[in-house]
Amino acid sequence: MRKTAIVFFALVLSAAMLFAGGSKDSSSEEVVINYYEWDVPNQQFVEDFMKENPGIRVEVHTIPANGDKATKLDIMAMSGSDIDVMPIADGDQFIRFEQGMLAPLDEFIERDGFDMSNFGSYAEWGKGSDGHYYGIPYRATQTMVYYNKDMFDAAGVPYPEDDWTWDEYIDTARKMAAWGKDQRIYGTYTHTYANEWATIAGQVGKWYTEDGLCNIKDPAWVRALETRKMLDDEGTQMSYGQIKAVNAVINSSFLGGKEAMVTAGSWLVRDMKNKEKFPFDFEVGVAYMPRYDESVEGLRSNYSASVLCIPQNSQHKEEAWKFIKYYVERASDAIAASGNLPTYMPAYNEDIVTTFCSGSGLDEAYGEKFFNNDVQLSTNKIMGPDGAKYMQIINDEVPLYFTGEKSLDDALNTIEKRVNEEIVG
């Protein structure tokens, strides 16, 4: 017995010592920067970068693209681990800009004369509430209306036009739903993501009043919520509850021929490229998002952008910055090829549209719409440091309205009260 115990004691101790003395290779002059990513484009550009910068080695680490991806990176960034280049997605960045978790990039931007206006309105997605840049936008998504041309042909309904209004969209959806009724095909599809119901109303709606209070009762939001519920209830689209109950997803649903139209991000083009997973056999068309009403002008799309950041704890900020700069300036092709939209406007050209569409079967005339600098962008996301919390509160309440448990007034009152108490007050 004693022998066993002693052997174990020795084992544990020696093991502990082994790690305490853990090896650190500091011999080479080469600086290693670690880039963590869940949606890695073709890595040729990383090779190119290293060729041009012989002193720097970039290690790309792929992490799972599920709900916990941000948690892992946050923990790494906050605990001083080796992460040097950190992606943050689609609106998640703003609360993180406030934490002191990320290094401000203004010095680098000024020193290198890096022109943020090259990012157009995407630049806003890298800015903290203090006006400093903490992130560089590198890829974005724009929401469009995708439609199943074969279904429209069969129904004899004209394709959606680029310049159309919300009412026309509803009308089209109803026509398609009426046509598809016997085959259990819906007219359109609105997913259950937080604030997905607000993609069109985002063109005119304001989240805060001029006094900085909660403005969830803005007529635009009310109309958006009522519209979703109306389309759900009349069976024009799959209802909120049903999507939740069967765990429906956009790509399988639309590419599986369950509805005639869908509002979805540019990533749907990526999935169209994957014929093994999604073997669909119909023609897909793309239209811009409908206008809120006649008071809104121009071609419209809903958008959000992801950014690359440098954690405050990174030991190699200089090298990380060099890599980020190279990434956005030179790797736009790779980003487009992976079905995302590059954010760096000077890279927009004919080739990039070809690359973006290649393999998806999508006509390039449609693909071009994602790269149109004239399109008016708005967002359903709530930007700013409190946006994430605001959206959380909405998402706590709004489903109760969609599934008929609460009246719209009740839901809106609760949201208003909570936002004013927990965020404003």
- Please report, as residue ranges, which positions from 256 to 275 form the binding site for other proteins (by CB under 8 A): 256, 265, 267, 270-271
Q: Which of 233, 169, 229 is nearest to 203 (CA)?
A: 169
Q: Which of 142, 147, 154 is nearest to 168 (CA)?
A: 147
218 lies in the binding site for other proteins (CB under 8 A): no
Least spacing, CB of residue 24 vs other proteins, in Å: 8
Please state, in angstroms and rounded to a whole number, the distance separating the CA atoms of residues 53 and 156: 58
**Which of 50, 132, 399, 408 touches other proteins (CB under 8 A)?**
399
C-alpha Rg value of the chain to the nearest Å: 24
Least spacing, CB of residue 252 vs other proteins, in Å: 5
Q: Which of 333, 343, 338, 335 is nearest to 373 (CA)?
A: 343
Q: What are phi and psi of 412, to 5 degrees?
A: -65, -40
Smaller CB separation from other proteins, 64 or 131: 64
Beta strands 31-37 and 83-88, pairing class: parallel
**Which of 106, 389, 408, 424 touches other proteins (CB under 8 A)?**
389
Is the Cβ–Cβ distance between 259 and 155 less than 8 Å? no
Least spacing, CB of residue 339 vs other proteins, in Å: 9
234 lies in the binding site for other proteins (CB under 8 A): no
Smaller CB separation from other proteins, 155 or 398: 398
Please state, in angstroms and rounded to a whole number, the distance separating the CA atoms of residues 185 and 192: 19
Structure-block tokens of residue 19: 């790690």
What SS3 class is residue 302? Answer: strand
Nearest-5° angle of CA 117, CA 123, CA 127?
125
276 lies in the binding site for other proteins (CB under 8 A): yes
Please state, in angstroms and rounded to a whole number, the distance separating the CA atoms of residues 394 and 373: 32
Q: Which of 4, 85, 49 is nearest to 311 (CA)?
A: 85
Residue for token pair 């919390």: 389
Is the Cβ–Cβ distance between 85 and 319 less than 8 Å? no
Task: Provide the 8-state DSSP code for 370.
Answer: G
39 lies in the binding site for other proteins (CB under 8 A): yes
Smaller CB separation from other proteins, 115 or 410: 410
Question: Which regions of 63-134 does DSSP assign to beta strands (E)?
Answer: 83-88
How many residues sit close enough to other proteins to count as binding (CB under 8 A)?
79
388 lies in the binding site for other proteins (CB under 8 A): yes
Near other proteins by CB under 8 A, which window of 201-209, 240-248, 282-290, 348-356?
240-248
246 lies in the binding site for other proteins (CB under 8 A): yes
State the binding string over 80-119 for other proteins (x if CB under 8 A, else -). Answer: xxx------x-----xx--xxx------------------
State the binding string over 133-172 for other proteins (x if CB under 8 A, else -). Answer: ----------------------------------------
Least spacing, CB of residue 81 vs other proteins, in Å: 6
Residue 193 burial (10 A CB sphere; 0-12, 13-18, 19+):
middle
**Which of 120, 235, 241, 361 touches other proteins (CB under 8 A)?**
241
- Please report, as residue ranges, which positions from 404 to 423 form the binding site for other proteins (by CB under 8 A): 405, 418
- Please report, as residue ranges, which positions from 2 to 31 form the binding site for other proteins (by CB under 8 A): 2-5, 8-9, 11-12, 15-16, 19-20, 22
What is the end-to-end Cα distance of the chain in Å, rounded? 65
Smaller CB separation from other proteins, 34 or 188: 34
Near other proteins by CB under 8 A, which window of 119-127, 142-150, 285-293, 392-400?
392-400
277 lies in the binding site for other proteins (CB under 8 A): yes
42 lies in the binding site for other proteins (CB under 8 A): no
Is the Cβ–Cβ distance between 218 and 226 less than 8 Å? no
- Please report, as residue ranges, which positions from 57 to 86 form the binding site for other proteins (by CB under 8 A): 61-66, 68, 70-72, 74-76, 78-82
Least spacing, CB of residue 201 vs other proteins, in Å: 21
